[in-house]
Structure 1
Amino acid sequence: MLKQRIITAVLMLLVLLPALFAQAVWPFALLTLVMIAAAGWEWARLNGFPGVSALLTGGVVAAGSALLWQAGWIGHTPGMLWVLAMLVWVLGGALVLGRGVEAWQHVPRALRLLGGVLLLWLAWLAIAEGKARGLNFLLSVFCLVWMADIAAYFSGRAFGRRKLAPVISPGKSWEGVYGGMAGVLLLALAWIAFDQRGLADSASLYTLLLQRWGWAGLLASCLFLSSLSVVGDLFESLVKRSAGAKDSSALLPGHGGVLDRIDALLPVCPLALALVLS
C-alpha cells in the first residue's frame, strides 16, 4: 500500500508541478478542470447516480467550468460571489453536519446532485482565480489546508481525547482541531516574513489578510479558514458514510479519489477569496 501511495504521489506531482509553475494560467486551469470533472463523477456516484448519470455529471461540471472560463471570469470574478459562497458554506455546513448522516439520506437526490455541482464549480473557479492572482497566493492557500491537516493529525495523535464528530469521522478530535489552528497561525507568521523579503511573484493570502484586516483580523481569518477546512473534510466524510463508502473512488491508487484529496479545499479556496476581495 505504501509503495502504491508513493508511486501515485510521484506521478501526480509530475503532472501537477509543470502546470502549477507555468507562467500562464491556462495549463493549471485546464488540469484542475479535468480533476474537478472527476470529482463531479465521484459526487454523483456517492449520491445515488451511478453509471452514465455519473459520467454526465462529470461532463456538466467540466462544461460549466469551461463556460465560466470562456466568459472571462478567471481573474475578474465578482466579489459578491465569494461572499455568497461563504454564506453557503457557513450556514449550509452547519446545517448538514448538525443534522448528521441519517438526515443526508433524506435530502432529495436531485438537490444533493445540484448542490454538489454548484460547489464544485465554485471551487474550480476559486482555484483558477487563485492561480491568476499569483503562485505565491495560490500556494499560501493550499498550504493552509495542508498545514491544518498535518498539524491536526500529529496533535490529535499526541493529545486527542475529546472526539469531534464520532459518528462522521471517529478519528478526529478537538485537540487535533486546535493543533491544526496553531499550525496555521505559525505558518501565517512565517509566510508574512517571507513576503517581506520581496522574493515572491505576488502577495500571499496572509499578507493580504494583514493589510486588509490588521493583526486581529489575520488571527480571526486564519482560525476561520482552519475551521472551514475541517468542515469540508467532515462534509465529504458524512457523504461517504451515508453512501457506505470508504473512499470517494479508486481513481488515485493508494489515495482514494479526487474528492478525498480536495475536500478541505472546496470551502477554503472560495472563502479565502471572500476575505481578501469582498
Structure 2
Amino acid sequence: MQQELKLRIISGVILAIIVLAVTWYGGFAFRLLSAVIALLIYYEWSTITRLQTEQPVANVAGWVGQAAIAAAILLGRFDFALSLLVFFFAIAVGFVAAQSASRWFPAGIVYAGLTGIALAEIRGGDAAGLQAMLFVFAVVWATDILAYFVGRAVGGPKLAPRISPGKTQSGAFGGAVSAVIAGSVIAYFFIPEADWLMAAAVAFILSVCSQAGDLFESFIKRRFGVKDSSHLIPGHGGVMDRVDGLIFACFAAFLLATLFSLIKGDGMAPLGAALFGF
C-alpha cells in the first residue's frame, strides 16, 4: 500500500509540473493539451461503457465528432467547437432513437467534448485566463488532496456509500474548506484585482462540483463493473481517474464565467476575468 501511494505521489507531481508548465505557456500548447485530454477521455468512456465492442458504428461516429471538436479547439475556434458539440450530440441522440446505441453514447460526446472546450476556453490566451486556470487547478487539487487525508484521519459517516464507499462526509467538508482557502490564497497572490468574497464563493462552488464529478465517475465505473478507467497513468489508473473532479469543476467554471460575462454585457471573451468580478 505504501509503495502504491509513493507511485501515486510521484506520478501526480510529475503530471502537475507538466500541466502547470503548459498552462503557464498557454496558446497552442494548452489548446493541444485540452484536445488530447478530451480525446483520451472519450477513449476511456467508450471503453468503460463498451461502445467499442457493442456499438462499433456509433463509436466511429463518436470518434469523428471528437476529432472534429479537437481540431476546432486547436484552431482556437471555441464557438465553432461548441456548434460541433451540439451537432454531434444531435447525431448521437439520433443513434439512440434508432435503438442502435445506448444512452451512454450522447453522454460521452458531451462529457469528453465539453471538457476540452471548457479547459481551452477558460485558459484562453491572456493573463486573466492564466489566473482563472490556476485558480481552478488550486481549488480542485486542494479538494482532492485534503478530502482524501481528512477523510482517512477523521472518518465518520459515508458521503455516498452506494456509489463510493471510501468517501466520507468529513472528507467532503475538509475538501471544501481547503478549496476555499486555496482559492483565496491564489486570489491574494495572483489576482489582486479580484473580489475576495466572489473568489471564495466560486471556490466553494467549484469544490462541490469537483466532488460531484468524482462521485459521477465512481458511479459510471460501478455501473459497468470496472476499477480504473484505464491504465495510462501509473498509480492513478486512467485520465478520467485523474481529472474526474477537474471535469465538473471546469464545466461549472465555464458556465459561471459565461453567465457572469453575459450579465455584465461583455460577451464570451473575458471568461477568466468574469470569474472574479473585475
Q: Same fold, TM exceeding 0.5?
A: yes
For residues 1-278 of structure 1, what are the structure 2 equivalents within 5 Å? 1-2=3-4, 4-5=7-8, 8-9=11-12, 12=15, 15-22=18-25, 24-50=26-52, 53=56, 56=60, 57-58=62-63, 60-70=65-75, 72-73=77-78, 110-132=102-124, 133=126, 134-195=129-190, 207=194, 210=195, 215=197, 217-278=198-259
CA distance change for structure 1 residues 263 and 109 in 2, over 3 Å: closer, same or farther?
farther
Give yes or no for contact 1:34–1:62 (8 Å, CA) kept in 2.
Answer: no
Q: 1:110 to 1:223 in 2, by over 3 A?
A: same
1:46, distance to aligned residue in structure 2 (A): 1.0
> Secondary structure of 2:102's partner?
helix
Distance in 2 of aligned mates of 1:15 and 1:185: 25
CA pair 182-108 structure 1, distance change in 2 beyond 3 A: farther
C-alpha deviation, 1:16, in angstroms: 3.6
Match of 1:97 in 2: none
Whether the aligned pair in 1 keeps the contact of 2:138 and 2:186 (CA below 8 Å) is no
Secondary structure at 1:172's aligned position in 2?
strand
Q: Name the SS for the 1:171 alignment partner.
A: strand
1:75–1:129 contact (8 Å) kept in structure 2: no
* TM-score normalised per structure 2: 0.73
Q: Distance in 2 between matches of 1:122 and 1:271?
A: 11
Query: Cα distance, 1:44 vs. partner?
Result: 0.7
- Quick one: distance in 2 between partners of 1:172 and 1:258? 20
Name the TM-score, length of structure 1 as normaliser. 0.73
Closer/same/farther in 2, CA of residues 187 and 75 from structure 1, 3 Å limit? farther
**For residues 167 and 42 of structure 1, do their structure 2 counterparts lie closer, same or farther at Cα, with a shift above 3 Å needed?**
same
Map Cα deviations across residues 93-134 of structure 1 (whole Å, 9 max, x no partner).
xxxxxxxxxxxxxx9953211112112211111111122143
The range that moved more, 51-60 or 126-135, is: 51-60
RMSD (Å), alpha carbons: 3.2
Cα displacement string for residues 66-106 of structure 1 (whole angstroms, at most 9, x for unaligned residues): 2355472279989xx9xxxxxxxxxxxxxxxxxxxxxxxxx
Partner amino acid, structure 2, of 1:40: Y
CA shift in 2, pair 1:43/1:14, >3 Å: same
Cα distance in 1 for residues equivalent to 2:13 and 2:183: 27
Letter in 2 for 1:185: V
Contact between 1:47 and 1:109, CA under 8 Å: does it hold in 2?
A: no
Once the two structures are TM-superposed, the CA of residue 48 in structure 1 deviates from its matched residue by 1.8
Residue 143 of structure 1: how far off its partner (Å): 1.2
Aligned 8 A contact 1:249 1:258 in 2: yes
Shift of 1:250: 0.8
Identity %: 34
What's the offset of the Cα at 1:138?
A: 0.7
The Cα offsets for residues 188-210 of structure 1, whole Å up to 9 and x where unpaired, read as 2222221366xxxxx7xxx3xx3
1:171-197 Cα shifts (integer Å, max 9, x gaps):
111111111111112112222221366
Whose RCO is larger (CA < 8 A, sep 6+)?
A: 1
Decide whether the 8 Å contact of 1:160 with 1:176 is kept in 2: yes
Determine if contact 1:151/1:179 at 8 Å carries over to the other structure.
Answer: yes
Number of residue equivalences: 236
C-alpha distance in 1 between matches for 2:72 and 2:228: 30
Give the letter for the 1:73 counterpart: F
Distance 1:145 1:223 in 2: 10
Going from structure 1 to structure 2, the CA distance change for 1:66 and 1:158 (only over 3 Å counts) comes to same
